[in-house]
Chains A and B, each alone.
Chain A
């Protein structure tokens, strides 16, 4: 049983992984990590979906059949932690560029 949503999650993860192992720029590596985090968010939201349901908000709700709220709450946590991690990694990238003069992680000085 193939589903489009799980296939989309796998495709986004593959895009992020290929960019992670093939790029030579630290900024692009950080961007690919963020893309993989977005794939995880999509996976969490699509896990909680129930057929023919609405978002779990009772304000002017047309029906009372709702999707699962707990995965969406964990997705909110995941988004905030993604933002914090990306901000910290960007500051480290700026520090590395100012110290070594390059953003290429395969340079001899950066790789040790």
Chain B
């Protein structure tokens, strides 16, 4: 019973995967890339950084990176709470 349910779930998931792969756009040809073209042409003047990915992560989307480091901080705080709340022997 349980194995049949598991096989059915896997089959449905695989069907969704195959449908998604068949309906994707062709690889290597993005439709609309105006934002990325703006990043590539203007990031050297606006941020002074040669690495465009770094200029996006640490300058244009720096608030996002602040939230990302906050996520890491929160995870470590969670591990610390687990350490405090475990059962003493």
A–B proximity contact (CB within 8 A): yes
CB pair A95–B82 under 8 Å, yes or no, is yes
Interface size on B, residues (CB 8 A): 46
* A14 sits at the interface (CB 8 A): yes
A18-B10, A48-B36 known; A66+B52 contact, CB < 8 A: yes
State the majority secondary structure of interface residues on A: helix
CB-CB contacts of B5-18 with A at 8 A, as 1s and 0s? 01001100110011
Instruction: Kindly report which residue of chain A lies nearest to residue B65, judged by CB atoms.
Output: A77
Q: Is the interface of B mostly helix, strand, loop or mixed?
A: helix
Sorting the interface of chain A by its residue count into under 10, 10 to 19, 20 to 34 or 35 or more gives 35 or more
Given the complex of chains A and B, what is the CA–CA distance between A95 and B84 in angstroms?
11
Q: How far is the CA of A1 from the CA of B25 in the complex (A)?
A: 8
A5–B27 CB distance below 8 A:
yes
B53 and A87 within 8 A (CB): no
Q: How far is the CA of A69 from the CA of B51 in the complex (A)?
A: 9
Q: Which residues of B lie under 8 Å from residue A88 when comparing CB positions?
A: 75, 78-79
Q: How far is the CA of A22 from the CA of B36 in the complex (A)?
A: 41
- Residue B4 CB within 8 A of the other chain: no
